[in-house]
Amino acid sequence: MRFAGVAAISLDLDDTLWPFQPAVERAEATLHAWLVKHAPGTARILPARGMLGKLRNDYEHSRPDLAGNYRALRIGSIELALALAGEDMGLAEEAYGVFYSARQKVEFFEDVWPALTWLSARFPLVALTNGNADLRLTGGGAFFRETLSARAVGIAKPQAGIFHAAALAAGVPASELLHVGDDFHLDYLGALNAGLQAAWLVRDHPKETAPGEYARYVTIRDLTALCCALGGPANL
């Protein structure tokens, strides 16, 4: 597998550079402990820390107007928990700050740092996310020319505009930007439909053992494979 005419690369963050679910679960555990300490009544509403995720998802379903606004959805669900518990809703902003800080504590996949070191020495890199991870806090920001989030740009993947914004940030035509991400629809198809080149990162199902339907797509098992496809060594 080789790519042609790649002048820059954009990379998704969650589940591409690090696993998303463990980071959120740790952040929700931290938030739960903070709420129980500072707003004790929430212990009755949220007897188990895992209920924070359910409350947040239920709140999202009730507020389709906030789709994609992760900050507003999380704060709204915290306010709901505080209201149901009869606690001070004014604590929501501080509680969100606790959650947000903990959410940035991620564990990068083993292949990521060596791959980013190799890639960033050869291509302008742009981070492209629909989420709220901040590379200045997670680490790794020095590898990237710019980070574009759906919230900052005002449009989200898979809309073409956010991919075109990434190409502009990288200083290359869309056709010369290679986008890499784990989500087939948001990342892979979104990038192709925007006129980019694309690679679908499928960590759980490496291409050589993937179901047949995967074979028709450009897939990579990790970022080391991406480096190989771009002319790099097999073992960084």
Confidence of residue 230 (pLDDT cuts 50, 70, 90): very high
**pTM score, two decimals?**
0.89
**Residue with the two structure tokens 């590898």:** 143
Q: φ and ψ at 49, to 5 degrees?
A: -60, -30
CA–CA distance from 162 to each of 96, 120, 131, 177, 183 (Å)?
27, 21, 13, 13, 15
Domain with CATH 3.40.50.1000 in the chain: 8-19+107-229
Output 65 or 169, whichever has higher pLDDT.
169
Tens of pLDDT, residues 165-217: 999 999 999 999 999 999 999 999 999 999 999 999 998 764 444 455 555 68
- Average pLDDT of the chain, as a whole number: 92
What is 21-103's CATH number?
1.20.120.1600
CATH classification of 8-19+107-229, choosing from 3.40.30.10, 3.40.50.300, 3.40.50.720, 3.40.50.1000? 3.40.50.1000
Q: How far apart are CA 144 and CA 55, in angstroms?
A: 35
Q: Is the pLDDT of residue 4 over 90?
A: no
Q: What is the pLDDT of residues 138-168, one digit of tens each?
A: 999 999 999 999 989 999 999 999 999 999 9
